[in-house]
Amino acid sequence: MASDLDGVDIIIGGHSHSVVESAKKGENVVTSKTGKPVVITQAGENGKYYGLLDVEFDAKGVITKVCNQLVQLSSKKSPTIEYIKEQKRLRQEQIRKEKQEKKKADECVSLINSTFRSGIRNTLMNQPPEKRLETFQEFTKQATQVLNLTNVKLELENLGASTMGGLNPETNVFTLNAAMIACDNPELMEEQVFTVIHELTHKRQFDAIRDSANGKPIDKYGYSERQIYEFARNWKCYIQPRENYEWYRKQPLENAAYGFEDMVKAKYYGINF
């Protein structure tokens, strides 16, 4: 293959698990179709070796010197290899949890569509205020089930014009601003739906913190141990939006909650996320 290529200087194999060391013309140093040298190497299989390949080029980008070595690893664990394995494990865990989050977001969107069949704004605008409050109570109840949550108590109160609502993690009381539901502003009412998702995400975070501290399984929450550790630290020094809104949004608890809320919004509005 190397003799049919142009513009390739080095080929590192993998599938055949071959052990290729040193640099020998006609064997693993061959000529491309334009007459330039191509180095071929491979470091065996299963982490038995690691390869060191040093290549020098001239001003025209042509290989002039090659030093190809394989170092056999001892039976002792290599810190480098172990680090690579751990990074791979963490990446696989991250991918798995991202899929888990996307599945939860899809379930939330399905719930929104089944609750607000004519769309959030149209459904709520066609309901009297008392019916809207009932709709939000039922939606919150169903959303807690979708997110595998328990012991959530919803309270509807008039909180003024400055807040959508909030969760008290000590009492598990979720307060939603009834004034914004009862008003005839479709944009505010729609935003309240996503506030439910946002605050219930906080409930999921705090449940994960508690279960982790008590040695209980945490896989169902979709967060890594590192994330839960950061959530717990963040709660001890939580930044209120009135203190610094930029840092409020960036802190781990809010960054994750807004991230999930935005994912649900994007899926609901049909935006690629």
The secondary structure of 117-178 as a DSSP string is TT-HHHHHHTS-HHHHHHHHHHHHHHHHHHTT--S-EEEEE---SS--EEEETTTTEEEEEH
| pLDDT, mean of residues 193-198 | 96
More confident of the two residues 71 and 205 = 205
Mean pLDDT estimate for the chain: 90
- The pTM of the whole model exceeds 0.85: no
Of 110, 92, 114, nearest to 102 by C-alpha is 110
Give the distance from CA 172 to its chain's centroid: 26
Give the distance from CA 27 to its chain's centroid: 45
Is the pLDDT score of 243 beyond 80? yes
Is the pLDDT score of 121 beyond 80? yes
Establish how many alpha carbons lie within 13 A of residue 4's alpha carbon, considering only the half-sphere containing its beta carbon. Answer: 1
Query: How do residues 66-101 score in pLDDT, each as one tens digit?
Result: 888 888 876 566 677 788 888 888 888 888 888 989
Q: What is the pLDDT of residue 129?
A: 92
Taking the C-alpha atoms of residue 161 and residue 179, their distance in angstroms, rounded to an integer, is: 8
Mode of pairing for the β-strands spanning 10-12 and 37-43: parallel
Give the distance from CA 234 to its chain's centroid: 18
